[in-house]
């Protein structure tokens, strides 16, 4: 194939650059995307009106310049990132950004030991950070369930590209279900990861543990996210943690056990009183099962525990 380079006028045209960068963000790593699918996403997700011929021309140039792979075995042609084609990404990041990516990598390894490949292609700077940072779990050393990396790849790509998913999963009783869903988001709770979805059969929003999904198949149809849906609202409405009333909480805790509460308070307005051998903690926060489990887990390291309903100040 004859290599075609961008003309200087292309680089000076902000519209051309914006189009090329937007298309780059759509290119998948595992599956392939066609020019017509790119055109559809440009119009529906980005409000960019261009011709399919312009999209095809831009894709051909990206194949030449940016390590995009074109599968021409059948029509329509499919495009994806070539393996090892992102060595320039790390060079665009600052020291702080590469450090945060290294921290994220360690956190992934903590949650998915020996199940998910976490290397970062072309990132010697991130490898360098791995020798200078360390994450230690703050909770009990539970082992994360095994997660199929292929399933995670399919789900994450469908979620990012707003494509329909077909999933097979088992419930707590071991019963197998197959459903067509519109993926809406992922939520992590401790070592658990949950897929929040809209059932295409029942038009109801629900969630399932990623570790219970046995198969995931990505469709070609774009989904429509429910109007007004926000992942933070779904999580905050008690689907993962049963919330209760606001309470005033106070207790004494051994200094060596509760020292982390000084740096990571239970609430931004928490009060800490330092005594000779202990800390006195006072905070107003929302009651939850998680809070009660944590308090019980402290055993004899906590005493003088007081918990009562918070009374809002009368401002009338």
Decide: 61 and 1 in contact? Cβ < 8 Å.
Answer: no
Question: How many Å apart are CA 289 and CA 151, to the nearest integer?
Answer: 31
8-81 has CATH 3.30.465.10 classification: no
Q: Model confidence over 244-274: pLDDT tens digits?
A: 678 899 999 999 999 989 988 988 889 999 9
* Torsion angle of the four alpha carbons 130, 97, 59, 155, in this order, in degrees rounded to the nearest 10: 70
Answer yes or no: is pLDDT of 236 > 50: yes
The residue behind tokens 């979620």 is 159
pLDDT at 176: 93
Supply the DSSP symbol for 90: G
Q: What is the CA radius of gyration of the chain?
A: 25
CA angle 271, 276, 277 (to 5 degrees): 90
Q: What is the mean pLDDT of residues 141-147?
A: 67
| Phi, psi at 186, each rounded to 5° | -120, 140
End-to-end Cα, the chain, rounded Å: 77
Question: Cα(21)–Cα(17) distance, rounded to whole angstroms?
Answer: 6
Residue 39 pLDDT > 80 = yes
Residue 204 to residue 159: CA distance in whole angstroms? 17
Q: How many other CB atoms are there within 10 angstroms of residue 98's CB atom?
A: 21
Which of 70-74, 118-122, 292-296 is predicted least confidently? 118-122
What is the DSSP annotation of 106-126?
HHHHHHSTTTS----TT-HHH
**8-81 against 149-239: fold identical:** no
Second CATH level (architecture) for the domain 243-309: 2-Layer Sandwich (3.30)
95-99 contact pairs (CB < 8 A, 24+): 95/125, 98/123, 98/125, 98/126, 98/129, 99/129, 99/133
User: Domain residue spans in the chain?
Assistant: 8-81, 86-144, 149-239, 243-309
Please give the Cα distance from 130 to 111 (Å, whole number): 17
Position 64 scores a pLDDT of: 82
Percent of the chain residues past pLDDT 70, beyond the cut: 75
The token duo for 56 is: 């095809």
- DSSP H stretches of helix in 73-201: 95-111, 124-130, 149-161
Specify the pLDDT at position 143.
63
CATH 2.30.30.520 applies to domain 149-239: yes
At 55-102, the pLDDT tens digits run 999 999 888 887 789 998 888 899 988 876 654 555 556 667 667 777
């Amino acid at each position: 194939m004859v290599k075609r380079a961008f003309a200087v006028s292309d680089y000076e045209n902000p519209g051309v650059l914006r189009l090329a960068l937007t298309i780059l963000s759509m290119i998948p790593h595992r599956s392939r995307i066609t020019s017509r699918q790119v055109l559809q996403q440009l119009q529906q997700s980005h409000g960019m009106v261009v011709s399919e011929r312009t999209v095809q021309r831009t894709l051909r140039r990206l194949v030449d310049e940016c390590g995009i792979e074109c599968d021409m075995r059948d029509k329509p042609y499919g495009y994806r990132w070539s393996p090892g084609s992102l060595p320039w990404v790390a060079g665009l990041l600052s020291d702080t950004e590469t450090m945060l990516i290294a921290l994220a990598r360690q956190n992934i390894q903590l949650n998915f030991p020996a199940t998910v490949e976490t290397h970062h292609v072309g990132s010697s700077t991130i490898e360098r950070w791995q020798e200078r940072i360390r994450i230690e779990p703050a909770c009990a050393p539970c082992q994360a369930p095994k997660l199929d990396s292929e399933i995670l790849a399919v789900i994450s790509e469908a979620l990012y590209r707003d494509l329909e998913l077909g999933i097979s999963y088992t419930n707590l009783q071991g019963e197998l279900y197959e459903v067509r869903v519109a993926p809406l988001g992922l939520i992590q709770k401790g070592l658990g990861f949950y897929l929040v979805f809209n059932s295409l059969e029942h038009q109801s929003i629900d969630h399932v543990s990623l570790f219970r999904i046995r198969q995931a198949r990505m469709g070609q149809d774009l989904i429509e996210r429910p109007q007004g849906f926000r992942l933070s609202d779904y999580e905050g409405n008690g689907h993962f943690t049963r919330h209760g009333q606001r309470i005033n909480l106070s207790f004494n805790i051994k200094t060596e056990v509760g020292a982390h509460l000084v740096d990571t308070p239970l609430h931004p307005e928490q009060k800490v009183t330092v005594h000779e051998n202990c800390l006195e903690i006072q905070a107003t926060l929302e009651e939850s099962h998680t809070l009660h489990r944590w308090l019980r887990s402290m055993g004899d390291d906590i005493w003088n525990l007081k918990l009562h309903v918070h009374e809002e100040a009368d401002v009338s």
